[in-house]
Structure 1
Amino acid sequence: MPTDAMFLLGESREHPMHVGGLQLYEPPPDAGPGFVRDFYDQLVAQQDFQPTFLKRPATLLGAIGNLGWAYDKEVDIDYHVRRSALPSPGRVRDLLELTSLLHSGLLDRHRPLWEAHVIEGLKDGRFAVYTKLHHSLIDGVSALKLMQRAMSNDPDDRQIRAPWTLSKPDRMSGPSSSPLRSLMRTVGSVAALAPSTVSLVRAALFEQQLTLPFGAPRTMLNVKIGGARRCAAQSWSLDRIKSVKTAAGVTLNDVVLAMCSGALRYYLLEQDALPDTPLHAMVPVSLRREDEADAGGNLVGAILCNLATDTEDPAKRLETVSESMYKNKTVFSHLPRLQAMALSAVNMSSLALSTVPGWVSSTSPPFNLVISNVPGPREQMYYGGARLDGSYPLSAILDGQALNITLVSNADTLDFGLVGCRRSVPHLQRLLAHLESSLKDLERAVGV
C-alpha cells in the first residue's frame, strides 16, 4: 500500500519508523528461579509465523527496495527474539535506559521487520518484554491489540501464546489503524479532491472557531531531531484521574491533557524555555457517531488543543483545555464527513512535509507535540500466569516534533509512554515527576 511505502521511504538513521511497546510483568506466586528462561524458551519454540512477521523489503537488482515485499521462508528466531539481563542493581531506570537504546536502533531490512526482547534482572523479581515492529507492517494500536490477544484475564492460564503466530480476527471492531497511519492516509486521499477541498477547509477554518494549525509557538521541542531516543514510562491510578474528572465536570481526556500541560509548563520553566503563548497539542479523536461505533474502518480526526501552558493557575488551565477540546470536537461533529477529514488533513499536513529540506526551520510548527490516549484492556491481564503490571506505548517521532506522549488504559491504571529525541529533550525522565506534580496540582485545585 502507498502508506506502507511512505513509512519505508521516510525512514533514515535520524527517523526510525518503528513503533514499540514495553510490558512489565510480575511472575506468578509459585514461579521458580527459571520462570523467565522457561517463558523465553516457550516463545522461541513457536515458529508458525503469520505473513506479517515474514515480510521484508524486496531486493531488486541487488539492492534493497522500498516499494515491494518479499517473504522469508525461514526466520532466524534467535535473532528476532532475544533474552537480556539488566546490570545490577536492576532498577527500573536501568530498564528504561536499555529500552531507549533498543528503541533507537533501526530494524534490519534484510530480515523481517520486527524484534522482541525478554528482559530479566529487575531487583524486585519482575521482568519485561520490549517489542518493536516497523510502522509499514503494523501500527501501534494494532500491535497493542495483538499483544492483548496473546494474553488472558485468567491468572491460571499458563499457556504462552507468541504474537507472531496469531492470525488476524475476521472482523475488528473500532478503528483498525493508528491515528498517524490513518491521518497520513487521509492527507493523501483528501488532497486528491482539490480544488473543491480548499473551499471546504477555508469554510471550516474561518467560519468556525477552531484552533488553527501553524498557530503554535516555536519551542525547544520543535526542531530537527537526531537518531538517538530516550524513553520514559510510568503508571497513574485511574481512580485519581477520575476523581478530578468528576469534581471538575470535564472528560477523562481533558484531565489527562491538563496533566500533560502542567508537566510541560514545569519542564519548560526548568529549561528556561517556556514561551509566552500557549503550546498546542495534536490530539487524535474518533469522528464516529454513536450509531457507527462498531462500523470498522478508519474515522480518526486530528484536533488541535490549546494546552494553556501560559496560565499558572491549574484550575484555569483545566478549564481552558476542556473548553478548547469541547469547541473543537463540537465543530468537528457537526461538519460534513468530507470537511472533517479535510480539516484533519490540513492539521496533519506538515508532518508529511517534515522531510523536505528546510521545512522545519523555515515554518512555524503546526502544533508542538502529539498527545494520544489509546483504550486498552479494562480488566487485569496475565501472560503465562505472569501479571501485566504496566503496558507502555513507545511511538515514533519526526522532525519538528521531538517529543511524543502516548498513554494506554490498563485495568485500573493509565500507563504513560514518553519518547523524546535524546539530543533535543534533555532529562526526559523529569517529565514523569512533573506529571505527578501536575496531577497533585489539579487534585488540590478541584478539592479532591
Structure 2
Amino acid sequence: MGYMPVTDSMFLLAESREHPMHVGGLQLFTPPEDAGPEFITDVLDTLRSQTNVSARFRRRPADPVNLLGTTWWTEDEDIDFEYHVRHSAVPRPGRIRELFQLTSRWHSALLDRHRPMWEMHVVEGLQDGRFATYTKVHHSVVDGVSALRLLQNSLSTDPDDHTCTAPWSPTLRRGKPSVDTRVSLGRLLPEVLDTVGSIAGLLPAGVKIANQAFRDNNLITPLDAPDTLLNQPIGGSRRFVAQSWEIERVRDIGRKAGATLNDVVLAMCAGALRTYLLEQDALPDKSLTTAVPVSLRSSDNLDDGGNSVGLIIATLATDVDDPAERLATIRASVQAAKAVMGELSPLQILAMSAMNGAPLALTPLPGFVSHTRPPFNVLISNVPGPKEQMYWNGARLDGVYPASIPMDGMALNITLTSNYDKLDFGLTGCRRTLPSLQRMIHHLEDALLDLEKAVS
C-alpha cells in the first residue's frame, strides 16, 4: 500500500452520488481511408491486449474503501479489461447529438472504488463514419493536465504509425534522461527549508493580497461573486455539450485588442453566459466572476500523476454590454491576479488557492449553498493540448473535448483544450439546474462574432 496525499484524497472525501469526482474526455476520430468493417474490433483487441499497466492505472482505494480508502492506495495486479475497456455504439440516427447524450449518461455514473478507477468506451455508429472514445479517470488519480498528457503520449504525428499505445501503458519521457529518485539529506534539506519558509510566509502573503485588493479595483476576491442560477444545489445527472473553434480566430482578436488568447476565451464565455442568463431572466446586476486554474507543473513533471494546480479569480464583466469594453475589463482583472500570484511561492499559491475555493468544501453541509454566497460563479479552465495534427492507430484526431466536474454551488464547468489549429470546448453542467445547456454552444459562437466585430 502507498500513502495517499491529501490533495488526492480530498476528491474521494468530497464524492457522493450527486457529486461524481472524475475527469473525462471525449475524442473524435476519422478512420484511415483503408479502414475496413473490422477496424473498431481490431482497435478494441489492440487495447485489451496491452496488459502492461502503469501504477496509477492499477491504483484503487485500500479496503475498506470508506475508511482506509481515503488514506492509502492499493494496487490491483490483475486488470479486468473486459470491464474497463467497453464497446459501445450511438443509437440512430447517429448524430453528434446522440453521442453527447451517451457521454452525459456515462459522465453521470460513479466509478467503482473496488476496481482501479478508470473506464474507456470505444464508440461506433456515427452517421458520418467517424468513431469516438470516451475515457474517464478519478480526479484523485490525475488532474486535467496530466490526463491530457497521458492521451498525447498514446498518439502519434505519423498517420502510418499503427503501434500507438493505450493511455494506461507505461511510457518513457522521450528525449529525457532517467531521474535518480533516491532521497539524500543533502538534497532534501534545502527543499524542507524552502517549504518551511513558504509556510511562514503565508500570513504576510495573505495580508499583502488583502491590502492589494483595497488598492486595486481590478483585483477580484471570493467576496465579489453574486448569487446566480449557476450557484445552486445540484443533482447527480449531467449534461455534456461540446464544440470546436479555429484557434486563429481567437488569436486574431487578441492581437487586435492587445489581449492574450486566454483573455479572449474568457470574454467568449462571458458573452455566452450573459446571453444565457438573460434568456433565463437570471442575469444579476453585479458581474459574474470566474476561477481560472493555473498549472504549477514545471516542464520536468508534466507527465507526473496527482494534482498540482492553483486558482486565480477574475471578473467576467457580465454587467458590461459592449464586447470590447468587456474584454478590456477582463484583461485588467486577470493581469491584477497574475501580478499578485507572481510574488508568491508555489506552496503559497496552493494555499491561497485552497482558501479561494475553501467554501466549496462545505457545500455538502445541508443548507450551506442556499444560505451563502459562492466564492466564484463558474470554473473556466484552458488546458494546453497537442500542437500538431495527431493520429491514433492511423485514425486522425478531430476533437478533444474535456468533460469535467460540476458540484454543489458550481453547476457549470467549462474546460477547453488546444488541439492543433482548434480550440475544443467541453461544457459539463447539472441537467436539472441548467435548462437547455446546449444553447451555450450557439451563444459562444455569437460571442466570438461580437468580439470580431468589436475589434475590427
TM-score (norm 1): 0.89
Give the residue type in structure 1 aligned to 2:117.
L
| Residues 46 and 399 of structure 1, relative CA distance in 2, 3 Å threshold | same
Match of 1:384 among 387, 390, 393: 393
Taking the TM superposition and a 5 Å limit, the aligned residue runs for 1:103-142 are: 103-142=107-146
- Which residue of structure 2 lines up, in the alignment, with residue 253 of structure 1? 262
- Which residue of structure 1 lines up, in the alignment, with residue 180 of structure 2? none
Instruction: Work out whether 1:201 is the aligned partner of 2:206.
Output: yes
- Which residue of structure 1 lines up, in the alignment, with residue 446 of structure 2? 437
- Which residue of structure 2 lines up, in the alignment, with residue 11 of structure 1? 15
| Residues 104 and 251 of structure 1, relative CA distance in 2, 3 Å threshold | same
Moved more, 10-19 or 67-76: 67-76
| Residues 169 and 359 of structure 1, relative CA distance in 2, 3 Å threshold | farther
Give the residue type in structure 1 aligned to 2:151.
M
Give the residue type in structure 2 aligned to 1:221.
L
Contact kept? 1:204, 1:343, Cα under 8 Å: no
Aligned equivalents of 2:152 and 2:339: distance in 1?
A: 32
Instruction: Work out whether 1:369 is the aligned partner of 2:373.
Output: no
Give the residue type in structure 2 aligned to 1:138.
V
- Helix, strand or coil at the partner of 1:354: coil
Contact kept? 1:223, 1:360, Cα under 8 Å: yes
Q: Give the gaps of 5 or more residues in structure 1.
A: 173-188
- Helix, strand or coil at the partner of 2:342: helix
- Which residue of structure 1 lines up, in the alignment, with residue 162 of structure 2? 158
Contact kept? 2:25, 2:401, Cα under 8 Å: yes
CA shift at 1:243, angstroms? 1.1
Contact kept? 2:156, 2:164, Cα under 8 Å: no
CA shift at 1:207, angstroms? 3.3
Moved more, 119-128 or 162-171: 162-171
- Which residue of structure 1 lines up, in the alignment, with residue 91 of structure 2? 87
| Residues 351 and 313 of structure 1, relative CA distance in 2, 3 Å threshold | same
| Residues 279 and 63 of structure 1, relative CA distance in 2, 3 Å threshold | closer
CA shift at 1:287, angstroms? 6.6
Contact kept? 1:215, 1:364, Cα under 8 Å: no
- Which residue of structure 2 lines up, in the alignment, with residue 446 of structure 1? 455
CA shift at 1:272, angstroms? 0.8
Contact kept? 2:57, 2:117, Cα under 8 Å: yes
CA shift at 1:385, angstroms? 0.5
| Residues 357 and 124 of structure 1, relative CA distance in 2, 3 Å threshold | same
Deviations 1:53-75 (A, max 9, x none): 22222224998843223322322
- Which residue of structure 1 lines up, in the alignment, with residue 243 of structure 2? 234
Give the residue type in structure 1 aligned to 2:313.
L
Contact kept? 1:157, 1:385, Cα under 8 Å: yes
Contact kept? 1:287, 1:333, Cα under 8 Å: no
CA shift at 1:305, angstroms? 1.0
Match of 1:222 among 225, 231, 242: 231
Aligned equivalents of 2:296 and 2:42: distance in 1?
A: 45
- Helix, strand or coil at the partner of 2:239: strand
Match of 1:266 among 233, 257, 275: 275
Instruction: Work out whether 1:39 is the aligned partner of 2:48.
Output: no
Q: Give the gaps of 5 or more residues in structure 2.
A: 178-194
Give the residue type in structure 2 aligned to 1:219.
T
- Which residue of structure 1 lines up, in the alignment, with residue 31 of structure 2? 27
Contact kept? 2:65, 2:113, Cα under 8 Å: no
- Which residue of structure 2 lines up, in the alignment, with residue 176 of structure 1? none
Give the residue type in structure 2 aligned to 1:218.
D
CA shift at 1:339, angstroms? 5.4
Percent identity for Structure 1 against Structure 2:
56
- Helix, strand or coil at the partner of 2:314: strand
Aligned-residue CA RMSD (Å)? 2.5
- Helix, strand or coil at the partner of 2:254: helix
Aligned equivalents of 2:97 and 2:240: distance in 1?
A: 10
| Residues 103 and 164 of structure 1, relative CA distance in 2, 3 Å threshold | same
Give the residue type in structure 2 aligned to 1:387.
R
Moved more, 277-286 or 53-62: 53-62
- Which residue of structure 2 lines up, in the alignment, with residue 185 of structure 1? none
Deviations 1:101-128 (A, max 9, x none): 0000001122111100000000000000
Instruction: Work out whether 1:56 is the aligned partner of 2:65.
Output: no
Give the residue type in structure 2 aligned to 1:7.
F
Contact kept? 1:200, 1:342, Cα under 8 Å: no
Aligned equivalents of 1:62 and 1:281: distance in 2?
A: 33
Moved more, 23-32 or 49-58: 49-58
Give the residue type in structure 2 aligned to 1:276.
D
TM-score (norm 2): 0.88
Aligned equivalents of 1:285 and 1:242: distance in 2?
A: 20
Deviations 1:24-72 (A, max 9, x none): 0000111112211211121112212222222222224998843223322
Deviations 1:286-313 (A, max 9, x none): 579xxx7668798743211111111111
| Residues 294 and 48 of structure 1, relative CA distance in 2, 3 Å threshold | closer
Contact kept? 1:42, 1:160, Cα under 8 Å: no
| Residues 262 and 16 of structure 1, relative CA distance in 2, 3 Å threshold | same
- Which residue of structure 2 lines up, in the alignment, with residue 408 of structure 1? 417
CA shift at 1:246, angstroms? 1.0
Instruction: Work out whether 1:332 is the aligned partner of 2:346.
Output: no
Aligned equivalents of 1:331 and 1:72: distance in 2?
A: 44
Give the residue type in structure 2 aligned to 1:430.
R
- Helix, strand or coil at the partner of 1:49: coil
Aligned equivalents of 2:309 and 2:212: distance in 1?
A: 22
- Helix, strand or coil at the partner of 2:122: strand
- Helix, strand or coil at the partner of 1:163: coil
Contact kept? 1:64, 1:109, Cα under 8 Å: no
Moved more, 138-147 or 90-99: 138-147
